[in-house]
Amino acid sequence: MTKLRFYLGRLLAYALLIGFAVFMLFPFIYMMSTSLKNSNDVFRVPPQLFPLSPVQREVNGTLKDVYSFEIDGRVREMVQTGESRNFGFFTTPDRINLNNTRNSNIIAQVPIDEALKTDKTITLTRADGKEARFDVYEVTLDGKTEQLLLAYRSGLAEFVAIDDETVKLYAVARTAPKQEFIDFQWGNYNAVLNLQLDRALVNTTLVTLLVVVGQLVTSILGGYAFSRVEFRGRDTLFLVYLGSIMIPFVVLIIPMYRLMVLLEWQNRIVSLIVPWIFTAYGTFLMRQFFIAIPKEIEEAALLDGCSRFRVLWGIFVPLSTPAIATLAIFSFLYAWNSFLWPLLIIGEGNVTNHVLTLSLIRLSNSFADQPNMVLTGAAIAILPPVIVFVLAQKYFIEGVASSGLKG
Amino acid sequence: MASLVRRSPRLSPQIFIPIAHLWNVILALVCISASVNIWGLSDFGNLGRPVQVFAAVVVLVPVVIALYISVGLLLHSLRKNPSGWLPKGHQTRYAAMVFYYVGMVLCAAALVETWAIFDGFEFLVNGFMANAWLGYGFALAYVLSWLSGRTFLPETLKRTLRYASLVTGFGTLIILLAASDFVGGMTSILSTYRQFNVIALTIAILVFAFLATQFLLHGEHFGERPHERTSWQGWLLLSPNIIGFMIFFAGPLLLSFYLSFTNSTVGRTPEFIGLQNYIDLMTLEFQTQTNLADPPQRALSFGFNVLGTLELGNTRYVLGAKDPLFWLSLRNTLLFCLLLVPLGVLPALGLSVVLNSSLPGVKIFRAIYFLPSVAAVVGTALIWRWLYDPVIGFYNYIITSVVNFLNTLGLNVVDPQIQWLTDPNVVLFSIVFLAAWQILGYNTVLFLAGLQGIPKQLYEAAQIDGANRWQQFLNVTLPMLSPTTFFVLITTIVTGLQVFNEPYGLFPARPIPVNATTSVFYLYNAGFFQFRFGYASAIAWVLFVIIFGITFLQFRFNRSNAYE
């Protein structure tokens, strides 16, 4: 009994975990699958995940999509001839759907020029009181001539069998059973990168790299000063610093923009880097870590005549790899994913200095009807942090966890 | 004693103190003329007279400091030990060190800007774009350095690999710099030495550096006390942070506060208009209307627009605002937070409890849940835009499939056919779902860390007392987890109050639906579409007060917790 409960509990737990895992992963799977589709495939209803391309065969010197129809119990491969023929769709008054005649129960589908139009018409009343008039045709059905209503008419495409030109049939081209195979359009990535996303990628990498290095340098120096060097006014300064973490960026948007205009830094990559290498949060993080390192280690080195820089570089930095990794990862994510600031300073217009997030918006505006291209761009922007996350998972999780514990 | 830099040869005070006096006089003259210059400018970056006056006064501050230093030096050389506010020897030294150091940094920054070195970022990218194969060089350097860290390799090979990786990395960097026309840039820098300001700045940097070092090295001369001997090192180490903080944080913060009291806009000198922005932003009007045939607008005064109406019996209550869109955006933002909290926090709590029960594979699940929070919001918003598509999107397809399945079971369910991105009643939910999906894993990791910090003994004691799983959760887990819960709630709310990227990426059409306009989006519109900088600053400060209030709550809570 208890064993059963144990397994049942396990089953329930895993069902929950897997359910959420699918929910969390699905948008990424959708992104990857869409980024590998061709431009027609993305508009398939209902949607499906595998990128499909039509099977094509050369017929009379041209490449044509292959369809498979079942004729007289035999599946035949057919192609469109390019011709089409106007068909009438006939039925009886009791089978007709007055609200949408195309949804009627059709009993005969005959080329319109093979049916004989009579002078008669039938008028039926719809549920809302409106009247609908239908022409009556004489239609030959299984050798028998019958008088039927013309529900609607529609052009059908002509298909011909590849191996036998005499086998012909007419069908709606859009819904005809096309032969397809799974086909990854890796070329999408090349195409999107060539739309200046390669430059945006290099820009983003450069900005991120320099912001991370800059933040590490200023934070390590500042954190060391706050934790180890005693000087007047240190604690007041630290309080001011802590307070500045509480000030949200929205307050600074307008004046920072004005400042950039004043410095003539708008539209330039420098405005994405230099203002961002000073971080109160990073300084705080490094200070908290340094403060836990035993004083004895440092004092011994200082007595031996080591300079402060030697102590910092030779003792503190190697000892605080986890904190440095955490800070590096946070600033990496922040710099790579930042959007509002580049949007204000670089804007959507100046494509040369775009970072990836900006390029994504540009891409989604100019390819509003090609989600495959847009999501290829999204994949280019999203995959690098994901790869870094997979490689350095431990530090991500530990960094987030420690931020919560310290409050 | 600890020293930051290796001791360098010292000059006699008789030489550098006169130089300092001379330099102070030059600086004072330069600053006074600059101040007069700023005062007389007809246009000061479109920031208005008060900022201009402020800048003119700020430029005079160095004059005062220079005077202070000179007086201090004179008094010190006369062997007077002044009383009161007059500078003492060590105070003079400190003032001089800080003053000359900051002067050096500012001159260096000005020189860098004159040389247009910051344009080098663009040139660097140009060089890399033209020689993309250099990427392989960096990749090779990384692989070599990775290999050199493997333990199974012999020591000599590791050392060789380390050198090889350094050579490859720096070699590639040098080629990249060469390809980015770095040499050309250097020669053009040399050619700028024909300009007067470049020469002046360079001399200023050298003099500042010389004086700062000399004052630093002559501690004893100014009667430095031993316990103060390392004090300057702290300030030096913090100086990059402090200077950056002043320029990119404190300064803009003050400017923002000032702008919120002006009618600042593009191409016009702002005028001080007092609280007008805040009044326009916040004023509400409440009226009643008995004639229901009248349009509600008629009940309001001029300049007010209808925010909402309520009809009770024969009276209609009309709420009007000077700026209804601000109130609507605030309502949207608060509603967004209100929905985000249960959707982004409760599932995270549940998942973390399950993950904490030491099942195999927990780490994989944790990683999967965390994944959305590493991705750029703009990117995920674009993914969700297509998932939300009413025709080809997966979400409506899944809903339709479920509805069809229920209908085959005999239930009569109508397919809702939700228009996620156009239906005004739904758009806010569409943003919330996206944001909750993105923050869920982050919160799960936070909760999990909190859960792992709860001592196991508490559960054992509860078990002995006969508590079942649910009672343990209620009486042990939840109370012990409350600091984490509070932290998660606060970070979620503060993130939610600043939501901007989600609506920007999710809605293709401009303007975005009114019900999806969040406060920061409204601020963005006011500031960067209507260019009402003053008004937008006022919005920012109102938002700030709300956010600060919530954050402050957390600090208070944490403190009270810590003393328990």
A221 at the B interface (CB within 8 A)? Answer: yes
Instruction: Name every chain A residue with its beta carbon within 8 A of the beta carbon of B368.
Output: 21, 24-25
Task: Using CB atoms, pick whichever of B228, B237, B375 lies closest to residue A382.
Answer: B375
> How sure is the predictor about B213, in pLDDT bands with cuts at 50, 70 and 90?
confident
Considering only the beta carbons, identify the residue of B375, B442, B453 that sits closest to A385: B375
pLDDT, position B563: 40
What does each C-alpha distance from A372 to A23, A28, A239, A297 come to in angstroms?
Answer: 21, 13, 50, 57
Cis peptide before A342, with omega less than 30 degrees from 0?
Answer: no
Q: Do A269 and B382 touch (CB under 8 A)?
A: no
A89: which strand partners? A109, A152
**Nearest C-alpha neighbor of A380 from the set B376, B372, B138:** B376
B351, A20 contact by CB (below 8 A): yes
Q: In this complex, which of A255, A365, A385 lies closest to B256 when CB atoms are compared?
A: A255
Angle (CA) A109-A115-A120 rounded to 5° is: 110
The answer to whether B409 faces chain A, any CB pair under 8 Å, is no
Question: Do B137 and B17 sit in the same domain of this protein?
Answer: no
The dihedral over CA atoms of B235, B236, B238, B241, expressed in degrees to the nearest 10, equals 120
DSSP string, B10-73: ---HHHHHHHHHHHHHHHHHHHHHHHHHHHH-S-STT--HHHHHHHHHHHHHHHHHHHHHHHHH
pLDDT at residue B95, rounded to an integer: 84
- Give the closest-approach CA distance of A162 to chain B in angstroms: 33
For the stretch B484-525, pLDDT in tens is 888 888 889 988 999 999 999 999 877 888 889 999 999 999
**Confidence band for A404, pLDDT divided at 50, 70 and 90:** low
Question: B500 touching A, CB under 8 A?
Answer: yes
Instruction: Collect all residues of chain B within an 8 Å Cβ-Cβ radius of residue A225.
Output: 233-235, 237-238
Residue B272 falls inside a structural domain? no
Judge whether B282 is closer than 8 Å to chain A, CB to CB: no
Cβ of A384 under 8 Å from any chain B Cβ? no
Residue B439's pLDDT is what? 93
Chain A's closest residue to B522, CA to CA, is A250
**Where do we find the tokens 């392989």?**
B136
CB-facing half-sphere around the CA of B533: CA atoms within 13 A? 27
Q: Which of A321-325, A394-398, B449-453 has the lowest mean pLDDT?
A: A394-398
Residues B355 and B471 in one domain: yes
Report chain A residues whose CB lies below 8 A from the CB of B386.
30, 34, 371, 374-375
Burial B347-364 (b: 16+ CB within 10 A, else e): bbbebbbbbbeeeeebee
Q: Tell me: the pLDDT tens digits for B162-175? A: 889 999 999 988 88
CA B311 to chain A, closest CA, distance in angstroms equals 35
- Where residue B486 sits, what CATH number does that domain have? 1.10.3720.10
| Residue B37 neighbours by CB under 8 Å, 6+ apart | none
Together in a domain, B203 and B111:
yes
Query: What element of type H or E holds A134?
Result: strand A131-141
B240 interfaces chain A, CB cutoff of 8 Å: yes
Whether the pLDDT of residue B2 is over 70: the answer is no
Over the stretch A47-65, which tens digit does the pLDDT of each residue have?
A: 888 888 888 888 878 888 8
Task: Give A363 to chain B, closest Cα distance, Å.
Answer: 10
User: Which of A14-18, A163-167, A182-186, A226-230 is the least confident region?
Assistant: A163-167
The mean pLDDT of A181-201, rounded to a whole number, is 90
Closest CA to B215 of B407, B10, B75, B480: B10
Which residues does residue B416 pair with via DSSP β-bridges, in sequence order?
none
**Which backbone phi and psi does B87 adopt, to 5 degrees?**
-65, 130
| Residue A283, number of CB atoms within 10 A of its CB | 30
Q: Quote the DSSP letter at residue A263.
A: T
CA gap A316, A224 in Å, rounded? 8
Q: At CB < 8 A and 24+ separation, what contacts does A123-131 make? A: A124/A93, A124/A96, A124/A98, A126/A98, A126/A99, A127/A98, A127/A99
Handedness of CA B1, B4, B6, B10 (dihedral sign): negative
Q: What pLDDT does residue B4 have?
A: 52
pLDDT exceeds cutoff 80 at B268: no
* Assigned domain for B278 exists: no
Q: Which residues contact A194 (CB under 8 A, 6 or more apart)?
A: none
Optimal mutation site among A7, A22, A24, A220, interface B, most CBs of chain B within 10 A: A24
How far apart are the CA of B46 and the nearest CA of chain A, in angstroms? 9
- The DSSP element (H or E) to which B282 belongs, if any, is helix B276-282
What is the distance between the terminal CA atoms of chain A, rounded to a whole angstrom? 44
Q: Is residue B5 part of a domain?
A: no
Same domain, B459 and B537: yes
CA A244 from centre of chain: 35
Chain A nearest C-alpha distance from B365 (Å): 7
More confident residue, A401 or B532: B532
Answer whether A307 sits within 8 Å of B6, measured CB to CB.
yes
Span A241-282, pLDDT tens digits: 888 888 888 899 999 998 898 888 888 889 999 999 998 888
Mean pLDDT is lowest, of A255-269, B1-15, B210-224, for B1-15
Task: Say what percent of chain B tops pLDDT 70.
Answer: 93
d(CA B540, CA A5): 55
Residue B344: both structure tokens together = 């982004």
Q: What would the mean pLDDT of A136-140 be, rounded to a whole number?
A: 84
Is the per-residue pLDDT at A92 higher than 80?
A: yes
- Give CA–CA dist A69/A72, Å, rounded: 10
Q: Does B265 touch chain A (CB under 8 A)?
A: no
Could you say which of B162, B190, B218 is where a domain stops?
Answer: B190
- The reply to whether B443 and B384 lie within a common domain is yes
Say if CB A197 and CB A359 are below 8 A apart. yes
Question: pLDDT tens digits, residue range B180-190?
Answer: 777 777 777 77
**Same domain flag for B152 and B214:** no
Measured CA distances, A210 to A252, A348, A392, A395 (Å):
22, 23, 20, 20
Considering only CA atoms, which of B231, B215, B323 is closest in space to residue B277? B323
Last-in-domain residue among B190, B217, B243: B190
pLDDT of residue B188: 76
pLDDT in tens, B22-79: 999 999 999 999 899 888 887 776 677 777 888 888 888 889 988 988 888 888 888 7
Please report which confidence band the pLDDT of residue A189 belongs to, taking 50, 70 and 90 as the band edges: very high
Per DSSP, which regions of B169-301 are E strands?
Answer: 284-289
Give me the pLDDT at residue B226, please.
65
List pLDDT tens digits, range B280-327. 888 888 888 888 778 878 777 787 888 888 888 788 888 888 888 999
* pLDDT tens profile A368-385: 889 999 999 999 999 999
Whether residue B539 is predicted with pLDDT greater than 80 in this model: the reply is yes
Q: What is the mean pLDDT of residues A296-303?
A: 81
Tokens, residue A9 = 């509990």
Which residues on A lie below 8 Å from B361 (Cβ)? 17
Q: For testing the chain B interface, which of A196, A206, A253 should be mutated: the one with the most B CBs within 10 Å?
A: A253
Q: Which residues of chain B are within 8 Å of residue A195 when distances are taken between CB atoms?
A: none
A221·B523 Cβ contact <8 A: no
Helix (H, G, I), strand (E, B) or coil at A355: coil
Comparing A176 with A199, which gets the higher pLDDT?
Answer: A199
- Domain presence at residue B8: no
What is the structure's pLDDT at B391?
87
Residue A378 · residue A200 · CB < 8 Å: no
Neighbours of A353 (CB within 10 A): 23
Q: Does A357 touch chain B (CB under 8 A)?
A: yes
Say if residue A147 is exposed, middle or buried (CB neighbours under 10 Å; 0-12, 13-18, 19+): middle
Residue pair B520/A250 in contact (Cβ under 8 Å)? The answer is yes
Domain boundary among B141, B158, B190: B190
What is the per-residue pLDDT for B45? 67
For residue B4, tell me if it sits in a domain. Answer: no
Give the DSSP letter of residue B229: T
Round to whole Å and give the CA distance between B492 and B504.
19
**Partner-chain residue, chosen from A255, A270, A336, that has the shortest CB–CB distance to B259:** A255
A205, closest residue in chain B (CA to CA): B125
Note whether B218 and B297 are same-domain residues.
Answer: no
CA–CA distance, A208 with B376 (Å, rounded to integer): 13
Of A96-105, B383-392, B550-559, give the lowest mean pLDDT range: B550-559
How far apart CA A342 and CA A337 sit, in angstroms, is 10
pLDDT, chain B, mean: 85
Residues A213-247 pLDDT 10s: 999 999 999 999 998 888 778 888 888 888 888 88
Both B197 and B331 in a single domain?
no
Q: Is A336 on the interface with B (CB under 8 A)?
A: yes
Q: CA–CA separation, A92 vs A136, rounded Å? A: 10
pLDDT at res. A78: 87
Q: Does B357 touch chain A (CB under 8 A)?
A: yes
At residue A377, the pLDDT reads 94
Angle, nearest 10°, between helix axes B533-562 and B519-528? 150
Asked whether residue B537 is assigned to any structural domain, the reply reads yes
Residues B491 and B392 in one domain: yes
How many distinct structural domains can be found in chain B? Answer: 4
B174 inside domain: yes
DSSP B508: -
Angle (nearest 5°) at CA A246 between A240 and A248: 125
Query: Tens of pLDDT along B109-140?
Result: 888 888 877 777 888 888 888 888 888 888 89
B113, B245, B370, B438, best to mutate vs chain A, most A CBs in 10 Å: B245
B450 to chain A, any CB pair closer than 8 A? The answer is yes
**Could you tell me the end-to-end alpha-carbon distance of chain B, in angstroms, rounded to an integer?**
41
Map out the domains of chain A with their CATH numbers.
Answer: 2-51 (no CATH), 56-178 (no CATH), 187-406 (1.10.3720.10)
Closest CA to B499 of B324, B307, B335, B343: B335
A61, two tokens: 């010197």
ipTM of predicted complex? 0.85
* Mean pLDDT over the full length of chain A: 86
- Clarify whether residues B205 and B345 are in a common domain: no
Q: Three-state SS string across B414-483, please?
A: CCCCCCCCCCCCCHHHHHHHHHHHHHHHHHHHHHHHHHHCCCHHHHHHHHHCCCCHHHHHHHHHHHHHHH
From the list B563, B564, B524, B516, the residue with the least C-alpha distance to B543 is: B524
Cα distance between residue A296 and residue B508, in whole Å = 60
Cα–Cα distance list, B55 to A179, A245, B247, B321 (Å): 74, 27, 13, 38
Residues of B in contact with A258 (CB under 8 A): 45, 47, 255, 259, 533
Residue from the list B6, B354, B527 with its beta carbon closest to the beta carbon of A253: B527
Residues ≥6 apart with Cβ < 8 Å to B400: A46, B415, B417
The pLDDT value given to residue B338: 93
Note whether B129 contacts A198, CB cutoff 8 Å: yes
A302–chain B Cβ distance below 8 A for any pair: yes
Of A221, A250, A375, the CB nearest to B540: A250
Find residues 188-217 of chain A whose CB sits inside 8 Å of chain B: 198-199, 202-203, 206, 217
Burial of A395 (C-beta count, 10 Å sphere; 0-12/13-18/19+):
buried
Which chain A residue lies closest to B246 (C-alpha atoms)?
A278
B450 and B397 share one domain? yes
Burial class for A8, CB neighbours closer than 10 Å (0-12, 13-18, 19+)? exposed
User: Strand (E) positions, A92-115?
Assistant: 108-111
Helix ranges (H only) for B78-154 are 89-114, 120-130, 134-148
Q: With 50 as the cut, is the pLDDT of residue A407 above it? A: no
Any domain includes B235: yes
Chain A window 156-185: which residues touch B at a Cβ cutoff of 8 Å?
none
Domain that holds residue B544: 326-562
Q: Does A361 touch chain B (CB under 8 A)?
A: yes
Same domain for B255 and B390, yes or no, is no
Q: Is the dihedral of CA B259, B265, B266, B267 positive or negative?
A: negative
Q: What is the pLDDT of residue B562?
A: 46
Please count the other Cβ atoms lying within 10 Å of the Cβ belonging to residue B384: 26
Q: What is the DSSP letter of B262?
A: B
pLDDT at A43: 86
